[in-house]
Structure 1
Amino acid sequence: MTDGADRAPGWESVPDADSLHGDRGLPPAMTATVGTAPGRDATSRRRPRRRTAVVGLVAGITASVLLLVVAGIGWTTGSDDHSAERPVQSFLRDVEDGHLADALETAGIHRGHDDVLLTDAVYARAGDRITAHRITSVEQGSDRAVVRAVVTQAGRGVPATFELERTGTDWGVFPVWSLRPPALGSVQVAVQGPPRSTVQVAGADVRTDAGGAAELRAFPGSYGVHLSGGEWFTAEDTRAAVPGFGAPATPVVVTTTLTDAGSRAASAAVDAWVDGCVASALPAPAGCSFSASGEDPASTWTDQKWTLGARPSVVIGGWASKGWAVQTRSPGSATFTARFSGPTGQGTATAGPIDVNASGWITTFGADGATFVPAVANGQSDSGS
């Protein structure tokens, strides 16, 4: 190393290399006490306090952020849980799972005495039930909401609309929505047979009214319809479809036909009616299709009677407005005779042969067989005199 005379210009203030080593040339005692100088020791004691303050500040900020995140998550979750679509989702899931009792409660639907199809057991026997659903829109106001969905039934998408109303709040913030009872579909059955017949709809007994009809509220699906007429009449099984919620129902017509036993009983009822008319001693038997006239009221009449010449031939068809129609294929005949005595003398009077018709209806069956009601009586268009 050269001395200071040999240094390049500008380097005069640069210390020698040997002087850059701080502990070289110092006495051993000084070297040992450099780290514990009074000034440096005070600085060392203050540093942990700064770190503690910084850590506390960071922890406070982190806690605030976490609170904001949790609050945001809670608000989002609460809003989702209180969306108007939630009751609709719950209702449709219960219907899909066959839990009708739960679905009725969710929707506020009251089950009446005649609602025999609104049970879990009956619905379990229904076909073409809802298998899935999809919410398509939610219109949510302050007090009212409309939720639209598409339900999958029998492999097809069927639109459905549900209305809700706000019935309160949770925690004073989130709305509580209640599903208004949706309009259900219905099974309509029209029996072409005796009124007040018992029909099985999905296994449930249903009694028709005086017109032979029955209408029952039902959830979406298809319901088997069966009518048993015992030994007298029969009907083919059919199914009633309920497409979606509130859709107009198509009546299912159950057509009855007489069995062989029913046809024999019907013919026997017609014969019994004819025999009753012929057994009358009156020239105009009540409720019959034939009568005799021309009696002289000044004479006394005795031994009055009808004699059947031939029975009418009839055909029994399907159910008409009042019963199974009975039509006269060819009329029978009857003759009326009587003895008389009076101002003109005495003798025997005869009227006939007179046509005997037997058109009418077989209205019902009972333990004694069939009941026949004639369509005409005493001299009307289907009678002779």
Structure 2
Amino acid sequence: MSQALVRIAAGWLLGLMLAVAGAIVAVNVVNNTVASAQQPVREYLDALQSGDGGRALGLLRATVPPSNAAMLDGTALQTATSRLSNVDIGDPEDQPGNRVMVPLEYTIDGSRLRSEFVLEKTGTEWLFFNTWAFVPSRLPTVDITVVNGSEAIVNGAAVNMPNGRNSFAVFYPGEYEASLNGQYFAAPATRATVTARDAPVAPLNLLTQATDRLKQDVAAKVKEFLDGCAGEAVKEQKLQPDCPFYYASNNRVQDGTIEWNVTKYPGVSIEPFDGRWVVAPLDGKATVEALQQNAFTGIWYPLKEEVDFSFTTRLDVTPDAVRVTPQLSF
């Protein structure tokens, strides 16, 4: 009977030892997975990829610096992490003060990059499972400027650029792309990759240029002005009309024979200058034809001369219209 009891007790003891061992293994597995310091990093990355800025900010326990918050939520935030590939969350590395550093490696545009997150142990749950949280920090910013502009597109979101500049709070890791694609003004895209809260980020400078559409519209208005001026000069029969072109002659010209035609219209170049857009001086050619009388011989003979002309304009552009005002000096 005592031997049977011993066997029973031994069986119970073995079962208990196996249960304890299994529990220890389970606790270690949980502490190394869902309760590890890697888990908050996984959740943070998932929040970024979902465009959930509120959740990401809460997990990161970060403060937002004085800045524009357009990049902190929605599509703009999703776009920031959309180019991350081959993501690998590394093993935690011990740090002083009951903290660990969790490395995150990933690829953006073919470059292998790394971000590091410092977390601190905040306690345990159910006596055994560790709890971890990011060490509080402050979000980085990306500064953007635009030449002679008050708006831009950043990660697909339209943003205001007061006085041609703005600063945007951003999450990391992420890539931020700024561009301008207006019908009259545009700037090629430029990108910045943010890998850490304290890593310096070069400002994104949008080098705005006049679009072909604006140049074409200005050229059309210049042509309209010159053709109208030539037509008025013919109507008024003037060799020296109120136009950029004129012809001086001491001979008598027969009324009704004066004909003006623009033979070379100016090329249009639009450049930024002193906070505004200016049209470079407009150079062209015009031909005057008439019947003139020699002042000494009295003989009538044809006049046909091509003259060079040049003038400047004032350019005013609104989102819906272009106004070109010729600046003539007489």
Give the TM-score band, short-chain normalised: 0.5 to 0.7
Residues 163 and 182 in structure 1, CA contact (< 8 A), matched pair in contact too? no
Q: How far apart in 1 are the matches of 2:282 and 2:322?
A: 23
Find the residue that maps to 2:117 and give its secondary structure.
strand
Alignment of 1:11-22 (within 5 A): none
Q: How far apart in 2 are the matches of 1:54 and 1:117?
A: 70
Q: RMSD over aligned Cα, in angstroms?
A: 4.4
Distance 1:328 1:234, change over 3 A: closer
Distance 1:165 1:58, change over 3 A: closer
Match of 1:59 in 2: 11
CA shift, 1:239, in A, is: 4.2
Q: How far apart in 1 are the matches of 2:58 and 2:73?
A: 12
CA shift, 1:158, in A, is: 0.6
Residues 1:167 and 2:122 are matched in the alignment: yes
Give the counterpart of 1:322 among 272, 275, 282. 275
Find the residue that maps to 2:162 and give its secondary structure.
coil
Distance 1:238 1:366, change over 3 A: closer
One-letter amino acid of the structure 2 residue matched with residue 72 of structure 1: I
Alignment of 1:342-361 (within 5 A): none
CA shift, 1:142, in A, is: 4.2
Q: Give identity over the alignment, percent.
A: 18
Query: When the two structures are superposed, what TM-score results if normalisation uses the length of structure 1?
Result: 0.52
Match of 2:108 in 1: 153
Match of 1:129 in 2: 84
Residues 119 and 134 in structure 2, CA contact (< 8 A), matched pair in contact too? yes
Match of 2:165 in 1: 213
Distance 1:264 1:193, change over 3 A: farther
Match of 2:307 in 1: none
Residues 1:117 and 2:71 are matched in the alignment: yes
Q: How far apart in 2 are the matches of 1:250 and 1:93?
A: 27
Task: For structure 2, list consecutive stretches of 5 or more residues without a partner in the other structure.
Answer: 224-240, 246-265, 284-309
CA shift, 1:207, in A, is: 0.6
How many pairs does the alignment contain? 260
Match of 1:90 in 2: 43
Give the counterpart of 1:104 among 53, 57, 72. 57
Q: How far apart in 2 are the matches of 1:185 and 1:105?
A: 16
Match of 1:50 in 2: 2
CA shift, 1:94, in A, is: 4.1
Residues 189 and 254 in structure 1, CA contact (< 8 A), matched pair in contact too? no
Query: When the two structures are superposed, what TM-score results if normalisation uses the length of structure 2?
Result: 0.60
Task: For structure 1, list consecutive stretches of 5 or more residues without a partner in the other structure.
Answer: 1-48, 269-307, 331-356, 375-383
Match of 1:365 in 2: 318
Residues 244 and 311 in structure 2, CA contact (< 8 A), matched pair in contact too? no
Q: How far apart in 2 are the matches of 1:163 and 1:129?
A: 21
